[in-house]
Amino acid sequence: MQLVRPTADHLPGYIDALQRGWSADTVRGAAAAAEELARIEADAVAFIAGMDDREAQGGPVTLPDGSTVPRLPGFRRWLWDGEFCGSINLRWQAGTAELPPHCLGHIGYAVVPWKRQRGYATEALKQLLPEARAVGLPHVIITTDLDNTASQRVIEANGGVLVERFDKPAQFGGKAGLRYRIDLA
């Protein structure tokens, strides 16, 4: 498995995953998948270009409660083993490792159900960490749900240390979560 920059060649696999009910947005799920399919249909070239938005030029981000917030600089990579396997993204604020309260972590990832339990998320995170270092982050924060033991194992396998149990902001339903930190030095 390798991380690839999204391209037109990889797009059919991504579309297939969305049509099969998968979404990189693990909170908004089907609604986010439908929005992405509509954006692809409207302008696939712009959609792919938007996967690498280091200047935060894209439109606002819709949170799970429907509210919107300004986009942070960031980019997405797709997991690829000859076919589409999932997505991992990195977001940050220029000049600081801090994140605004509405952003739960620097990195988010999701593997398609038919490719899970192969170590792909662990490998994807491992491959993304040097890119986080390259944008100047001294560490990354990653959050997960209390019951998502698979994600907890992925983070811990990459040097993640549990920082705290916390309550997610209201936009995310106020549910309890776990916050991990991975030092990049």
Please tell me the predicted confidence (pLDDT) of residue 23.
Answer: 94
What is the pLDDT at residue 34?
A: 94
Judge if pTM exceeds 0.75. Answer: yes
pLDDT at 128: 98
CA angle 3, 1, 143 (to 5 degrees): 60
Q: Which ranges of 56-137 does DSSP label H, i.e. alpha helix?
A: 120-134
Q: Which long-range contacts (CB under 8 A, 24 or more apart) does 12-17 make?
A: 13/78, 13/80, 13/83, 13/84, 14/78, 14/84, 14/87, 15/40, 16/84, 17/84, 17/86, 17/112
pLDDT tens by residue, 124-147: 999 999 999 999 999 999 999 999
Give the CATH H-level superfamily of domain 2-183: Gcn5-related N-acetyltransferase (GNAT) (3.40.630.30)
pLDDT, one tens digit per residue, over 149-168 is: 999 999 999 999 999 999 98
b vs e for 150-177, b when ≥16 Cβ sit within 10 Å of the residue's Cβ? ebbebbeebebeeeeeeebbebbeeeeb
Q: Where are the alpha helices (DSSP H) in 94-145?
A: 120-134
pLDDT mean values, one per 10 residues, the chain (185 residues): 97 97 87 94 96 93 85 97 98 94 94 97 98 97 96 98 93 89 94
